[in-house]
Amino acid sequence: MNENHLRSQNQASHAELLMRSGNTADAYNLYAVAAAEEEKALHAIDPTRRPRTWGILAVSVVSLFYKGTHYAEAERRALQFLNRNEIPDFARVQLKELLAVVWEGQDFRSAGIQYAGEGITISLRGREIGAGTAPIDLVLDKITGVNSLIFRVAEWLGRHPLRRHGPPPPEIREICQPWMTQPQVGSYRFGVRLVQSLQGELIPRQSFGTTEIADSLLSIVRAVAPQLPGTSGQEDIVSIVPDRDYRNTMLKLVRNMVPDGQRLKEVEFATVRANVSTRVVLFENARLSITETLRASLPTDAFADVITGTLRAVHLDKKWIEVLTDAGISQRCEITADVLDDVIGPMVNRRVIVRGKWSTSKHKIRVSDIELGTSAKGK
């Protein structure tokens, strides 16, 4: 391997370490220098005689420009290389993926935001899921759920008081804005990218960033989802989120995303960094685990009574909901400030299980917990 490539790889290694230490400006410059060296190495290779080597270095050149946020340079090279007939298939695929993120980076830059480099991939698997296709209601549910959970995690990391109503505060939206990526082939898979406003660099830095948000989200899901025995990294949810109100909110948001076991069997969350993926899978049995964890945080008789039916109306300010029960009765239920709009909102017009305690008169049930129902069974 020629001297230019050796220089490039050392410069790229150094740039990576600068990024890790937070010295992003110097890292970006060094990535661009490394890209130029790698390009010289590439020009010394005959693609007809060493196609694999050529493909590897071509991808490396574009990657280095991309990592240095030199988007125009990355775009120009990627298009140039893709125009070559000799390019091996693996390199073609990788260059097209790079071009997509380069264009994204250019779009974000003109919109005044920057891609923070963090993403969470959500994969859905089940009887009704095809390769790259899925029922709209299932997909929208999960997108809404992930969006809500991301903002709650960011607020918790930022030590904001638990938001009882309304959208997340502006400073949280500045730090991270979940953006959907297009679905990918194989099961049904979509990505959520965490981006942050360029304006965010002008305000005092938060003690956390998009990496911490993504990692915390996965830790929380992993902690409540019974995994296969001995799976890595499972911690107790109470130690991850000691604040009871935040913990219960996040548990309920995760529970909203648990598959029903019929239409949908698995929901997988994954992050990928440096080719290593961290994954956690939600199966149907997570629902019981989460419900038991919620129950443990409440008085012993809080789950004494149960009704099931369709959630027909919600009034958060007047603190009531109305459930059309399986017996055909419109039952008004009393709720507390613990019932939050991003948890209950997705449940309207859907089957629910309400747990609580009947009033002495048996006219009203005071709600301790409400979850999406998956079958006729109440408990």
Residues found near another protein in the complex (CB under 8 A) = 1, 5-6, 9-10, 12-14, 16-17, 20, 34, 38, 50, 52-53, 55-57, 59-60, 63-64, 66-67, 88-94, 97-98, 101, 186, 211, 215, 228-234, 271-278
Name which of 144 and 211 has its Cβ closer to another protein.
211
> Using CA atoms, how far apart are residues 213 and 157, in angstroms rounded to an integer?
8
| Closest CB 109 distance from another protein, rounded Å | 18
Which residues lie closer than 8 Å to 193 by C-beta, 6 or more apart? Answer: 104, 115, 116, 118, 119, 178, 179, 181
Q: How many residues does the chain have?
A: 379
Query: DSSP assignment, residue 155?
Result: H
| Closest CB 77 distance from another protein, rounded Å | 13
Name which of 78 and 344 has its Cβ closer to another protein.
78
> Using CA atoms, how far apart are residues 285 and 97, in angstroms rounded to an integer?
36
| Closest CB 329 distance from another protein, rounded Å | 49
Query: DSSP assignment, residue 301?
Result: T
> Using CA atoms, how far apart are residues 316 and 343, in angstroms rounded to an integer?
12
Strand bridging mode 351-358 / 305-315: antiparallel
Amino acid at 91: A
| Closest CB 20 distance from another protein, rounded Å | 8
Name which of 93 and 337 has its Cβ closer to another protein.
93
Query: DSSP assignment, residue 280?
Result: E
| Closest CB 197 distance from another protein, rounded Å | 23
Name which of 192 and 311 has its Cβ closer to another protein.
192
Q: Are 218 and 198 in contact (CB under 8 A)?
A: no
Q: Are 194 and 214 in contact (CB under 8 A)?
A: yes
> Using CA atoms, how far apart are residues 221 and 293, in angstroms rounded to an integer?
13
| Closest CB 282 distance from another protein, rounded Å | 18
- Exposed/middle/buried for residue 205 (C-beta within 10 Å: 0-12, 13-18, 19+): exposed
Q: What three-state secondary structure class fits 343?
A: helix
Please list the alpha-helical segments (H only) found in 68-127: 71-82, 89-111
Name which of 29 and 331 has its Cβ closer to another protein.
29
Name which of 14 and 319 has its Cβ closer to another protein.
14
| Closest CB 134 distance from another protein, rounded Å | 20
Name which of 94 and 197 has its Cβ closer to another protein.
94
Name which of 19 and 180 has its Cβ closer to another protein.
19
| Closest CB 31 distance from another protein, rounded Å | 9
